[in-house]
Amino acid sequence: MLAGTPLKGQVALVTGGGSGIGYAIASALLKAGATVIICGRNEEKLHRALQTLSELGPTQAFRCDIRNLEEINALADQIQTHYAGLHLLVNNAGGQYPAPAENITPKGFSAVIQNNLIGTWNMTYTMATRFFLPARQGVILSIIANIYRGFPGMLHTGAARAGVENLTKTLAVEWSRYGIRVNAIAPGIIDSSGLAQYPEALKQGLTEKIPLRRLGTPEEVAHLALFLLSPYAAYITGETIYIDGGQRLWGDLFPLV
């Protein structure tokens, strides 16, 4: 963890901050001195997270679906009212389901693209035009996935995350003139609430296929996120950093059905 409170005075929005990796990132940001806003669709989940996060520092939670531009604009209005600004955006919200390509219908494909790619752009576009571009500052960080060798077993999210990785590079160049940094983190298999939803059969023997022979933790992803969001990473932009125990280089992602 970085020493001191390098993010004191910074306001951060973490999408999907009510659980798993997003919750761990929200905790790390609070410990680093930031004020944190989390959002998600499930109000009960947000409320539970808010109770424990608030013990670490100033936190607010808002219901907001990243697929819904009206809700995103309402969230931006709330941020304007309560904080007059936003400094950090973490695009963490997302979801997908494992299936062989031939079982992913165009409807299922479109649903995952809508959430993981279009939702990420909805949020990035809105927060950047409302806050980052006018203030000529900001850091954007997106959580994608291990797409180094495609994404066998989850074609839809592979396509969506590849889109986010590409827009990360483009935005890093285009918005450098506004002093905005844009990066992504590509987690391998992380032992978090998202993974818990996958069928047990799919998770058998997973650690044997990872060079470091274990799953990652949400806290490990949060440490990397904290670094990339902090001034310690002030000269890093347009990068996707893998945190996967070496799995992009060797071993299966998930067993193919």
Ligand X SMILES: NC(=O)c1ccc[n+]([C@@H]2O[C@H](COP(=O)([O-])OP(=O)(O)OC[C@H]3O[C@@H](n4cnc5c(N)ncnc54)[C@H](OP(=O)(O)O)[C@@H]3O)[C@@H](O)[C@H]2O)c1
Strand-strand pairing, 240-243 and 88-91 = unpaired
Residue 240 Cβ, how far from ligand X at the closest point, in Å? 12
d(CA 50, CA 54): 6
- Return the residue of 34, 66, 128, 225 that touches ligand X, per CB under 6 A: 66
Buried b (16+ CB within 10 A) or exposed e, 48-83: ebbeebeeebebbbbebbbbeeebbeebbeebeeeb
Site for ligand X in 107-166 (CB under 6 A): 115, 119, 143, 145
Phi, psi of 171 (to 5 degrees): -65, -35
Residue 149 Cβ, how far from ligand X at the closest point, in Å? 14
For residue 16, the 8-state DSSP code is T
Stretch of 16-24, 77-85, 174-182, 201-209 lying at the interface with ligand X (CB under 6 A): 16-24
Stretch of 78-86, 94-102, 172-180, 246-254 lying at the interface with ligand X (CB under 6 A): 94-102
CB-nearer residue toward ligand X: 67 or 248: 67
Task: For residue 21, state whether it binds ligand X (rule: CB under 6 A).
Answer: yes
The residues, ordered by sequence, that sit 6+ positions from 123 with a Cβ below 8 Å of its Cβ are 15, 66, 72, 89, 91, 93
Stretch of 97-105, 170-178, 190-198, 200-208 lying at the interface with ligand X (CB under 6 A): 190-198
The contact set with ligand X (CB under 6 A) reads: 15-16, 18-22, 40-42, 45, 65-67, 92-96, 115, 119, 143, 145, 187, 189-190, 192-195
